[in-house]
Structure 1
Amino acid sequence: MNIDTPAIQAAYASVRAESSPENWLLLSYASPTSDALTLTATGSGGLEELKTHLLDDQAQYAYLRVEYANDSESTRVKFALIIWIGERTRVMRKAKVGFQSGEVKKVLRHYSVQIDAGDRGDLVEGEVVVRCRKAGGADYNGGRG
């Protein structure tokens, strides 16, 4: 399973760059029987746009740049790794995700939070921001999320 491809590295660098409009990328399996992951989508519309690309019959891996305000003076940037297992994903694919997600983490290695999701309702922007804020240490917002 070689996911350290030039296309994935370029997309990863783009999502990490604050000057880039791209703020997410999505990796999917090349076919139902393949363990090869490919870059299937990138975008600049944040979590809501990303969710439209998640498939109910697949396991996928997303990398998301999350920007939020700490106060009126500053903003923070954190990254989330989303491990998606759609509700109709095949049993054997689900079984492999534990091992294969370790390989993904070697390439998409800089993230503050990992979110395991199987329903789009698990991916709510406000809740993702709260998790990133908690992972970031200092809370300049007085615990108000």
Structure 2
Amino acid sequence: MPGAADILSDPEINQAYEDVRDDKSQTTWLVLKYASATSDNLALSSTGSGDIAEMTETLGEDEAAYAYVRVKLGNDEYSERVKFVFVVWQGPQTKVMRKAKMSFQSGQVKQVLRSYAVEVQTGDKRDLEGEAVTLKLRRAMGANYDRQGTSY
């Protein structure tokens, strides 16, 4: 089986990862998709400067992809924190063999997209809605003193 360096050989991937992590960069997310239906190599598919909803629009029902997203959390400008989300996307119509390979390959992708607060593995775009992701992040952070509008 090829290693992380093989399937993630596109130099744009590392640059996009650094951009998402950099607070001075406008880039807030990236999406990696397979180069073709039969390839195990990943390529940088897209990047953007919007929120997770913007990123989610790039995910197809028959696609497998990985995404990395910067999310700001906080009750006001003074308590704002930046967290990162790693997404493993398997659209509902993704082929079975691709899904099987992803269970192994996601570990390789994590060697490159390595710093994140939560991982979301899904084939349902509702799991990637802002409120759902914010709730996962808040739970991962531990103490939550802002219980408005959330149920535990």
TM-score (norm 2): 0.89
SS where residue 15 of structure 1 aligns?
helix
* Identity within the alignment, %: 47
| Residue in 2 that maps onto 1:9 | 14
Superimposed CA distance per residue, residues 76-123 of structure 1 (whole angstroms, 9 cap, x where no aligned partner): 110000000001111110110100000000000000000011021221
SS where residue 135 of structure 2 aligns?
helix
Indicate yes or no: 2:68 matched with 1:63: yes
Shift of 1:5: 3.6
Indicate yes or no: 2:94 matched with 1:96: no
Instruction: Tell me which of 26, 34, 51 is aligned to 1:29.
Output: 34
Moved over 4 A (4+): 142-145
SS where residue 89 of structure 2 aligns?
strand
| Structure 1 portions without partners, runs of 5+ | none
Instruction: Tell me which of 49, 59, 74 is aligned to 1:54.
Output: 59
Shift of 1:73: 2.7
Indicate yes or no: 2:90 matched with 1:85: yes
| Structure 2 portions without partners, runs of 5+ | 1-5
SS where residue 74 of structure 1 aligns?
coil
Distance 1:135 1:25 in 2: 22
Name the aligned partner's letter for residue 79 of structure 2: S
Higher relative strand content: 1
TM-score (norm 1): 0.93
| Residue in 2 that maps onto 1:105 | 110
More displaced 10-residue stretch of structure 1: 103-112 or 120-129: 120-129
| Residue in 1 that maps onto 2:24 | 19
